[in-house]
Structure 1
Amino acid sequence: MSRPSVTRRTAIAGAVAATLAAGALPATSAGAAVPAGPNGWVTSTIARMTLEERVGQLFVQNVYGSDATTPDARNLPLYGVASPAEVVQKYHLGGVIYFAWTDSVQNPPQIAGLSNGLQTAALTQTSKVKVPLGISVDQEQGVVTRIGPPATQFPGSMALGAGRSTEDARTAAAITGQELRAMGINTDFAPVSDVNVNPLNPVIGTRSFSSNPQLAAEMVAAQVQGYQEDGKVSASAKHFPGHGDTATDSHVAFPIITHTREEWERLDAPPFKAAIAKGIDMIMTAHLSFPALDDSGNPATLSKPILTDLLRNELGYKGIIITDALNMQGVRDLYGDAEVAVRALEAGADQLLMTPAMDEAYAAVIGAVKSGRISQASLNAKVRRVLELKVERGIVANPMVDPAALDSVVGTADHLATADAVSNRTTTLVKNDDSVLPLATSGKNILVTGYGVTTTQILADGLTQAGAATTVNQTGTSPTDAQIASAVASAQGKDAVVVTTMKAWDTAVTDKRAGQQKLVKALQDTGIPVIVVATRDPYDIAYLPGTATYLATYSYSPVAIQAVAKVISGQVTPSGKLPVDIPTKDDPNTVLYPFGHGLGN
């Protein structure tokens, strides 16, 4: 574990006192009791915390509302109080997590204001101790991006894997982390450390860097450094012990991983080991069964053999173990929500993410400590890890952020230019049989159709800037026969057609996705040159027979779509290489395009 020891950090109390004196936080008499050294602060704080306060540090919850103090009725059924600040104070929360659907993330000034308001709530409640919050978000980039523009956008993990540059991976994490920290967010639940060895994986896919364990490990290691060393936010490797080989989504069901222990060592473990070697602050658990590691039938989140025996003891991990969201069905099938919370802590978790029954779970954990089911020593060890991390990440010394400084950090011209340059190195040209690409776009009439209102428009705008006259006919992820006929009619008289797909392979979820396959074939039957752009999973080509020109972006992020427009028009030479094998449609063991394939550079 290379994470710096708290004993090497000094004068935490002085920094806190300076913050209070500056008026950023309301001063209280409790602040004066903080010992001078960080180790002393942690020890003294634990000693002065009530049982309820210590248990509260183990919970990280979502709260509804765009600011801390305005009541939001959506909090009432979950927490019995209305404002986010009241939620924080009622349970002495250790952390909160932001989502767009909770109205937590709207724009940088609002996010910074919410962060400051929640920190004020944590630090002004009636208590002998003042402990700031961990404030977290899932800003993986790519398909899981909670904060959009003006924050800098990157195309996501698999795109970075296609680019093969650990420097780019670290840079993307560094910029993401710096911008999050400026908004008051100190924890990013990234990087995804799963190795996507199953092309039919419905929940990981392009969130993974690669199907190659070594490439994934290199990228994970680089991003841990980018987030923590450069961006100054905690990173969280997820989802341990590995969610890459499943065709089941743990949000709605209970996956089972059938790898042997030897296969786990070879396929799943390398990225997590790399993260641990770089001093990862957090590791997030997976809600799945892994019989080779624990044959009890319990999900890994509730498995002592996996979290304590394997992760903590065998791999020597000393940071925080946090559960994946406890409102996911993959962890709720066997036990009630209150029992799940207790069992996760018994298994070795330190923090519980998004329990859906807070009153019951909070009371159950307190009861488990009082009964001795969870020992005082175990509870204190978990709280110590949480508090030490808050010291190490500078959250104790500097819990507040300056909204006036946002423009100098978030979405700066330099950051945006870097994101463009990184994205330009990720597009993969998989097939170009008729040498359609690069396309001389100047003066050409081009139809842009397929998935995504925003996606098709951004792509058309990019081609227009390259001199083309473009028409947009967006058909979505499930085009009807009427929409397909409309697109074919729009193609008449055009010099070329660009059609975007999004998980066109995924007919197992809904046969409506087969409409994308029908759309591509109908356009190909016109005889007009058709360029297929897979805007998410690169596997679509196996389900699109007859495709002669095929590009993979791994992401529908605007930067990725802008990059592919430049590739089509010849402004950028495609240099990405497949970070996964693309198997044939009918046989997952037969490779259609291998890892490392890519035309262009």
Structure 2
Amino acid sequence: MRRRGPTRLGRAAALALAAVIVVTGCTAEPPPPEPQPGRLVGAPAPLDVTEVYLQQRIAAMTLREKLAALVMVHVPGTDAARIRSVLDRYGFGGVIIMGDNVGGPARTVAGLTGALSSEAGLPVLTAIDQEGGIVRRLREDDAAAARELRGLPASAAEQAFRTRAALVAEAGVLINFGIVADVTPDSSSFIRSRTLGESPSAAAERVAAAVRGELGTVLSTLKHFPGHGASPDDSHISIPRSSIGMRAWRATHAVPFRAGIEAGAPLVMMGHLQFDRISPLPASLSPTWVTILRQQLGFDGVIVTDDLLMLQRSGLPEYENPLRNAIRALAAGNDIVLFVLPADPGSVGVDLTGLLDALERAVGDGRLVEARIDASLHRVLSLRRAASGLVEPYVDCGPKCWGESPRSLALADVPPTG
């Protein structure tokens, strides 16, 4: 068995102890450190093997492979072989499970999702819209949803989303696009029936509780940043617009998102919402909103767009080209671009080969910067690698990965690795 070095927690504890000794001015010689199980005498500190994997993996990828890994698609139907053929052919990093992919209960869906990844060490990111209530792909989800949860304590939202997360996990799905962090006082608003609270503070309590409920079971996603409730319109067929300014936004629509981020949500979905006084672009194409999310709300996880084909359905000429939309979304700082392909891609769709060709050209002419693509790729591959449960480097880097040294191995009469 390969010997491992101390855990990160163990190293952190040692550093904390050293800091206390310095601050208190203690001059007595400290006692010798306790032996650490699995650590050989004279061994160097081990590397972060996951980070080694990510660096090695990214370095081995072509530009086209990098770009494809930042694309999530929907492929219609329940034929796992057909869906996987699309993922493998293009190298896409994710797939969203929609209603037409659900051929039965969660255990049936698990048969489909379990057949989609060609590499155990880097599974495809599977996602689903499982809010409960009127938005649920897994029909057996009978846990309380937004309409009911708005009138119940936050603890009810935590329990409901814990139950919901277990069902999503049973279906073999990694990500739930299920926590609506929008808030609106307008009863006529398109998003109203799906919100979790009557006010920013009430929504924030339930959003944070929902994240806690899903934690450790599925990857939670907050949507639709920066706040669908700022406009009553439907972003599936239009670009909802708002005239509120930054101060008003911070006091209202930002509050539930901040709470969900602080609770540990690893993904945020960027909506096609335009706040005219803050950015002239829909948030999904706006570097301004990505900067606000990263710097003001402190979000360091994965940002995924809402379905980019929704922009085309708005009918606005500036968004009629799906290739340009994808380029602008990645250039803005989104980590994953989402395309929910219909059964007939000729209706409102995108040519997938043309998409990757266009993204490659955009890097070549400077509209996309490869270093920024690599940063997104690092975040996305981190999720995929964690989902695998594996910890080996992509290419074995020998004793230094495990905190071993040739001398210590010789003393222990253990043959060197690598």
Fold shared per TM-score above 0.5? yes
Residue number in structure 2 paired with 1:219: 206
Any unmatched runs of 5+ in structure 1? 1-6, 11-34, 70-82, 125-129, 399-601
1:371: Cα distance to partner?
Answer: 2.7
Distance 1:260 1:96 in 2: 35
Distance 2:196 2:84 in 1: 37
What do residues 406-456 of structure 1 show as CA deviations (whole Å, max 9, x unaligned)? xxxxxxxxxxxxxxxxxxxxxxxxxxxxxxxxxxxxxxxxxxxxxxxxxxx
Q: What TM-score do you get using the length of structure 2 for normalisation?
A: 0.76
Residue number in structure 2 paired with 1:86: 85
- Letter matched to residue 89 of structure 1: D
Does the 8 Å CA contact 1:198/1:245 hold for their aligned counterparts? Answer: no
Q: Are 2:298 and 1:324 equivalent residues in the alignment?
A: no
Does the 8 Å CA contact 2:266/2:302 hold for their aligned counterparts? Answer: yes
Residue number in structure 2 paired with 1:354: 339
Does the 8 Å CA contact 2:204/2:259 hold for their aligned counterparts? Answer: yes
Mean Cα deviation higher: 257-266 or 354-363 = 354-363
- Letter matched to residue 360 of structure 1: G
Does the 8 Å CA contact 1:319/1:385 hold for their aligned counterparts? Answer: yes
**Equivalent of 1:187, from 166, 175, 178?**
175
What are the residue-to-residue correspondences of 1:244-323 with 2, within 5 Å?
Answer: 244-294=229-279, 296=280, 298-307=281-290, 309-323=291-305
**Secondary structure of residue in 2 paired with 1:236:** strand
- Letter matched to residue 368 of structure 2: I
How many pairs are equivalent? 337
Distance 1:387 1:105 in 2: 29
Residue number in structure 2 paired with 1:441: none
Does the 8 Å CA contact 1:299/1:331 hold for their aligned counterparts? Answer: no
1:8: Cα distance to partner?
Answer: 4.8
Distance 1:185 1:159 in 2: 25
Distance 2:138 2:9 in 1: 32
1:292: Cα distance to partner?
Answer: 2.2
Distance 1:116 1:9 in 2: 33
What are the residue-to-residue correspondences of 1:16-35 with 2, within 5 Å?
Answer: none
* Alpha-carbon spacing, 1:180–1:160, altered in 2? closer, same or farther (3 Å): same
Residue number in structure 1 paired with 2:192: 205
What are the residue-to-residue correspondences of 1:59-458 with 2, within 5 Å?
Answer: 59-69=71-81, 83-100=82-99, 102-119=100-117, 122-123=118-119, 131-149=122-140, 152-163=141-152, 165-202=153-190, 204-229=191-216, 232-294=217-279, 296=280, 298-307=281-290, 309-329=291-311, 333=316, 334-335=318-319, 336-354=321-339, 356-357=349-350, 358-392=352-386, 394-397=387-390
1:262: Cα distance to partner?
Answer: 1.9
Distance 2:272 2:175 in 1: 21
| Bigger radius of gyration among the two | 1
1:219: Cα distance to partner?
Answer: 0.5
Distance 1:325 1:91 in 2: 19
Does the 8 Å CA contact 2:150/2:198 hold for their aligned counterparts? Answer: no
* Alpha-carbon spacing, 1:39–1:331, altered in 2? closer, same or farther (3 Å): farther
1:301: Cα distance to partner?
Answer: 0.6
**Secondary structure of residue in 1 paired with 2:73:** strand
Write out the 4+ residue segments of structure 1 that deviate beyond 6 Å after TM superposition. none
**Secondary structure of residue in 1 paired with 2:299:** coil
Does the 8 Å CA contact 1:241/1:268 hold for their aligned counterparts? Answer: yes
- Letter matched to residue 146 of structure 2: S
Distance 1:184 1:114 in 2: 8
What do residues 293-333 of structure 1 show as CA deviations (whole Å, max 9, x unaligned)? 21x2x1111111111x2111222210011000111146673
1:36: Cα distance to partner?
Answer: 7.9
Does the 8 Å CA contact 2:287/2:331 hold for their aligned counterparts? Answer: yes
What are the residue-to-residue correspondences of 1:45-56 with 2, within 5 Å?
Answer: 45-56=57-68
Distance 2:354 2:55 in 1: 29
Distance 2:315 2:218 in 1: 30
Distance 1:143 1:9 in 2: 43
Does the 8 Å CA contact 2:95/2:127 hold for their aligned counterparts? Answer: yes
- Letter matched to residue 261 of structure 1: M
1:396: Cα distance to partner?
Answer: 4.8
Higher relative contact order (CA 8 A, sep 6+): 2
- Letter matched to residue 265 of structure 1: R
Any unmatched runs of 5+ in structure 2? 1-6, 11-46, 341-348, 392-418
* Alpha-carbon spacing, 1:391–1:278, altered in 2? closer, same or farther (3 Å): farther
Residue number in structure 1 paired with 2:394: none
Distance 1:131 1:160 in 2: 36
Residue number in structure 1 paired with 2:54: 42
What do residues 196-248 of structure 1 show as CA deviations (whole Å, max 9, x unaligned)? 2221112x12210123000100101111111123xx21111000110013221
- Letter matched to residue 241 of structure 2: I
Does the 8 Å CA contact 1:67/1:117 hold for their aligned counterparts? Answer: no
**Secondary structure of residue in 2 paired with 1:191:** strand
Q: What TM-score do you get using the length of structure 1 for normalisation?
A: 0.54
Distance 2:107 2:115 in 1: 12
Does the 8 Å CA contact 2:102/2:138 hold for their aligned counterparts? Answer: no
Distance 2:229 2:147 in 1: 13
What are the residue-to-residue correspondences of 1:446-525 with 2, within 5 Å?
Answer: none
Distance 2:75 2:390 in 1: 24
What do residues 77-115 of structure 1 show as CA deviations (whole Å, max 9, x unaligned)? xxxxxx111101111111101111x33442223211111
Does the 8 Å CA contact 2:237/2:314 hold for their aligned counterparts? Answer: no
